[in-house]
Amino acid sequence: MSSACPPPRRVIVAALAAALLLSPAASSLAAPSDALIPLESYSTVKGKTLATTYQTDLVHLYEHVYNCLPWLIVRNHTLGFPRPKDSAADDRYLSIMIDVDQMDPDGAFAALPRQRRISAMFSRHGVYLLKQMQALSTLAADTNVTGYGVALSWPKPGTPANQPKAETVAVFVDKTTLVDYLAKKLPGNEFISRAKLSFFDGNEIASPVPVEVWEDSFNSTFKLKNYEPPKGSNCTTG
């Protein structure tokens, strides 16, 4: 194969996901500016224009996660419009990376097989976040935005406390596929087949597993004990 040929789509998406994965871990007290991809990190006018045009939307998305979903932490410098590093085209995805504070007091989550853990995480948190992104109507209508991306990372069960390692799944999807799925015009298995998935064990690419997606209302209904969102927070979406 000629070196001039573009890399396979799965390699491109893995490169984009890896860029998010290697961003510094977020602080629970991070400001919106810490979560956003720095403007100087964008390599093209298109990326910089999207980042500046929709900065208010990005901040609103960050604030929704920060104020309404305290069990999710936006990783620093991962919210914005990254471009797959190895892509010949300047495709831009509205993307975010989340570190999940997984609550598993009885060990039930840790006991699940890997593919079930990944499916559960994406069904619970990934779909919810994609829905919040798609609800940004002006941004969603912008033809310069190719689609959406969510990367979710959580502590890998069974790893020693002094040598923590994370499991990560990254999902990137075009706008039409997401709209059809959220409108229930597309079954879950077809949605997954159209999306581009990458898997990581720590910082290493991991083998793919079959992923399922199902309805999960946790982020819309769960109330954390003794926690009230700041006054003025809009936590009714989703």
Reported as a single tens digit per residue, the pLDDT across 78-121 is: 999 998 766 778 999 999 999 998 878 888 999 999 999 999 99
pTM of the model: 0.87
> Dihedral through CA 226, CA 75, CA 57, CA 150, nearest 10?
-100
- How far is residue 72 from each of residues 22, 78, 97, 149, measured CA to CA in Å? 18, 14, 10, 16
Domain that holds residue 136: 9-216
Answer whether residue 234 is part of any domain: no
What does the chain look like in DSSP terms, one character per residue?
--TTSPPPHHHHHHHHHHHHHTSPPPPTT--HHHHBPPGGG--SHHHHHHHHHTHHHHHHHHHHHHHH-TTEEEPTT-BB----TT-SS---EEEEEEEE----TTSHHHHS-HHHHHHHHIIIIIHHHHHHHHT-HHHHT-TT--EEEEEEEEEPTT--TTS--EEEEEEEEEHHHHHHHHTTSS-HHHHHHHSEEEEEETTEE------------HHHH---TT--PPTT------
Answer whether residue 147 is part of any domain: yes
Answer whether residue 1 is part of any domain: no
Answer whether residue 68 is part of any domain: yes
Answer whether residue 198 is part of any domain: yes
Residue whose entry in the numeric block shows the structure tokens 């007091």: 105
- Separation between Cα atoms, residue 197 and residue 171, nearest integer Å: 5
pLDDT value at residue 16 = 56
Query: Looking at the 3D structure of the chain, how many domains does it have?
Result: 1
Answer whether residue 94 is part of any domain: yes
Contact 121, 200 (CB under 8 A): no
Answer whether residue 228 is part of any domain: no
Amino acid at 130: L
Answer whether residue 201 is part of any domain: yes
Reported as a single tens digit per residue, the pLDDT across 158-168 is: 888 788 899 99
Reported as a single tens digit per residue, the pLDDT across 129-144 is: 999 999 999 999 999 9
- How far is residue 181 from each of residues 13, 73, 194, measured CA to CA in Å? 20, 26, 11
The stretches in the chain having pLDDT less than 70 are 1-30, 85-86, 237-238
